[in-house]
Amino acid sequence: MDMRFDMTQNGAFSTPARSCGSQCCNACVVRDRAICADLNEGDRDALSRLGRRVTLQAGQTVMWEGDDSMVVANVIEGTLKLATSTGDGREQIVGVVYAADFIGRPFGARTPHSVTALTNARLCLFPRGGFDGFAMRHGELQHRLLQRTLDDLDRTRAWMLLLGRKSAREKVATFLLDMSRRLHADRDGVIALPLSRQQIADILGITIETVSRQLTEMKRDGFIDLVGRRGVRPVNMAALEGLSEAA
């Protein structure tokens, strides 16, 4: 379900949102890892007053590829996908973001990709113009933005290696390791994958049949357990790491 978010100068939204303030920051579970982590309490409070807390349902899109860059956001909770469209209308997932990640295009005119919730999610959403102005006056925030940009560049280069050189088995192992590092497991050690097997296949550049076969073989070899439709319990992390670094 798509629902466009209209964040005007007075903070009006086309979907329910609530104002933030120091109470939001004090209770924020990602405050020490988010883009605003290095700000002092007063500056963080000032930034939070620019934003609104927004709750997304799985399937909702908050940013659209090619649209004017109107908003940026901290991800408070949930998992979202970054996607672009090919010339014939097919979707290509180009990234996945998690709690404490930053989404949107500050200092840019256009949004380079769509951002859609894979799970229910909560965001701290800022008008892009107001965020840009705040960042220009706060070097700590600019430094964090630079760090995030360089980290994203490193991940992109690593992903180029994955797509270009790794075998299907190595690709799936790398994907599972990334999920295990970024998502919280339940008390039984099970990770609920936010992507379907078809989406995993698309992002890894292999077929859904190959994904299913590799998962089945990893279960048979004792590397993982498969729980339900999307649950994975890593059993032998050392083996997964060895597979992911084999290329």
Examine the fold and report which residue of 90, 125, 160 is the final residue of a domain before the chain moves on.
160
What's the CATH number where 111 sits? 2.60.120.10
Q: What's the CA gap between 211 and 141, in Å, rounded?
A: 40
Q: Containing domain of residue 174, as a range?
A: 166-244
Beta strands in 27-165 (DSSP E): 52-56, 61-63, 71-77, 80-85, 91-97, 102-104, 114-117, 121-127
Report pLDDT for 19. Answer: 60
Residue 9 lies in a domain: no
**In-domain check, residue 3:** no
pLDDT at position 43, please? 92
Q: Which of 160, 181, 209 is the last residue of a domain?
A: 160
Q: Are residues 177 and 59 in the same domain?
A: no
- The tally of domains found in the chain comes to 2
Among residues 147, 178, 156, 157, which one has the least CA distance to residue 33? 147
Among candidate residues 132, 91, 138, 135, the one with its CA nearest the CA of residue 115: 91
Q: Is residue 180 part of a domain?
A: yes
Six token digits for residue 199: 């989406």
pLDDT of residue 152: 87
Task: Look at residue 56 and tell me if it is in a domain.
Answer: yes
Amino acid in position 113: H
What are the φ/ψ torsions at residue 229 (nearest 5 degrees)? -75, -35
Q: Which residues of the chain have a pLDDT value below 70?
A: 1-23, 246-247
Give the C-alpha separation, 93 to 4, whole Å. Answer: 20
- Of the candidates 129, 160, 127, 132, the one whose C-alpha atom is nearest the C-alpha of residue 145 is 132
Beta strands of 158-201 (E only): which ranges? 191-192
Structural domain ending residue among the three candidates 107, 140, 160:
160
Q: pTM for the full model?
A: 0.82
